[in-house]
A and B are shown apart, each in its own frame.
Chain A
Amino acid sequence: MVFYVLASLAVVSAVMVITRRSAVHAALFLVLTFFCVAGIYVILSAEFLAAVQVLVYAGGIMVLFLFVIMLVPLEARQLRPPVRHVAGSLLLAGLLAASLISFFAAAKGPETGDGIQPLASGGGNIETVGLLLYQRYMLPFEIASVLLLVAMIGAVVLARKKV
């Protein structure tokens, strides 16, 4: 099934992201992970989110990452500092995973709530998402635009020549 192929590919390339020595290789495996996640969004009938994922993550964010990797000289980023706290991190992550899996196993399926927007049966649900975004979630949408403005100004100020 397509989902399992995409999911295992995403997990394998995510492991490659955090184990590769070179930051450029890690960034390229991160692109692969993002594309696999976009495919999973399509399977889960979130076509608009898949397009946004490819445009914003695989496009914008990865270009930012690659620019910064190229701005930092090779010796600074490949001077491999000893990877530390491996046992502790693995233990912490394993504990988190085990507790969450036991929680999933014990959880009951949630009931379908009232007054919700139904998923479109065919042809995508971009229109419904747009209506929801511009009517019910208008204020969060505007706040998100202010957040983007603040992030842009902050990035410009921080990366200037003299700080």
Chain B
Amino acid sequence: MIPTSHILVFSLALFTIGLIGVLTRRNAIIVMMGIELMLNSANINFIAFSQKLGDLAGQVFSIFTIVVAAGEVAVGLAIIISLYRNKDSINVDDMNIMKG
């Protein structure tokens, strides 16, 4: 049996890598991939604690996380396509029309 702390450190590593990707990359598609990595690390935490506590509710909640991630990707990629049509760019630095 793997110690829970090792799983937590692994998911922390995935979360940190995703965070660095979101903060440093300027390609909007790669930024969404970083968000996916962070959601996955949250799922790993849910399942690690589910196994540690012997409680299956953690697995149910990670199903809900996957549902939210699927919806988020669909809407986010649609926004990226729409922005590309309007601004001819998927650089997140160009997406500043909400600043007024």
Contacts and interface: CB of A to CB of B under 8 A. Distances in A.
Contacts, number: 234
B5 A53 contact: no
Contact of B77 (A11, A18, A64, A133): A64
Contact of A33 (B37, B55, B66, B78): B37
Contact of B16 (A69, A93, A151): A93
A65 B82 contact: no
Contacts of B77: 64-65, 67-68, 155
Contacts of A30: 33, 36-37
Give the dominant DSSP class at B's interface.
Answer: helix
A18 B20 contact: yes
A44 B51 contact: yes
Nearest to A30: B33
B9 interface: yes
B26 A82 contact: yes
Contact of B60 (A109, A132, A148): A132
B38 to A, nearest CB: 10
B47 A17 contact: no
B68 interface: yes
Interface residues of B, number: 72
A104 B78 CA distance: 38
A125 B75 CA distance: 32
B75 to A, nearest CB: 5
A49 B82 contact: no
B57 to A, nearest CB: 7
A117 B55 contact: yes
Contacts of B23: 85, 88-89, 92-93
Nearest to B72: A151
B37 A49 contact: no
18 contacts: A17-B30, A44-B48, A46-B51, A53-B43, A60-B70, A65-B77, A68-B29, A77-B90, A89-B19, A90-B20, A104-B5, A112-B53, A119-B50, A132-B57, A151-B71, A151-B75, A152-B74, A155-B78
